[in-house]
Copies of this chain bind each other. A is one copy, B any other.
Amino acid sequence: MIVMDAGALEAFIAAEFPQVSGYRLMRVDETGVTMRLDVQHRHLRPGGTVSGPTMFELADLAMYAALLSRIGPVALSVTTGASIDFMRKPAAGRAMTGECRLLKLGRTLAVGDVLIRSEGAEEVVARASLTYAIPPKR
């Protein structure tokens, strides 16, 4: 069951992570979310490519949103592990999307994976898998 929708998630992330910007949720459903990053100059590397840490952040935030959409605003859920493969050069001057699939939602651990694409393209630029630890309820 979805307990936070796109608007609630965007408001929560804006309030909790003021340093983060340019993200929007395009889809939130039982299977996961799709997050969009409006790529800005600070995300770029020479040749117009998007930096690795930027794609890592997109994947991480998409998974965070997918998790919170199901468990509510548990800000202190934290990433414990991630693996990411960079496969293709992203298109220059294009937004990116991260399509997150929530594979496990346990009591203390959640696992998902994310496909990152240049917006509108079929080819996958990067894939990531992420594990989050969910803090115990008081």
Which residues does A use to contact B, with CB under 8 Å?
Answer: 16-17, 19, 41-46, 51-54, 56-57, 60, 75, 78-88, 103-104, 106, 108-109, 111, 113, 115, 124, 127, 129, 131, 133
Contacts and interface: CB of A to CB of B under 8 A. Distances in A.
Contacts of A86: 78-81
A130 to B, nearest CB: 9
A111 B87 contact: yes
A82 B75 CA distance: 25
A82 B80 contact: no
A42 to B, nearest CB: 5
A85 B56 contact: no
> How many chain copies does the complex carry?
4
Contact of A85 (B43, B44, B115, B129): B129
A85 B80 contact: yes
A52 B81 CA distance: 10
Contacts of A17: 45-46
Nearest to A81: B85
Given A45-B17, A79-B52, A81-B83, A124 B103 contact: yes
A26 to B, nearest CB: 21
A56 B53 CA distance: 6
Contacts of A52: 56-57, 60, 79, 82
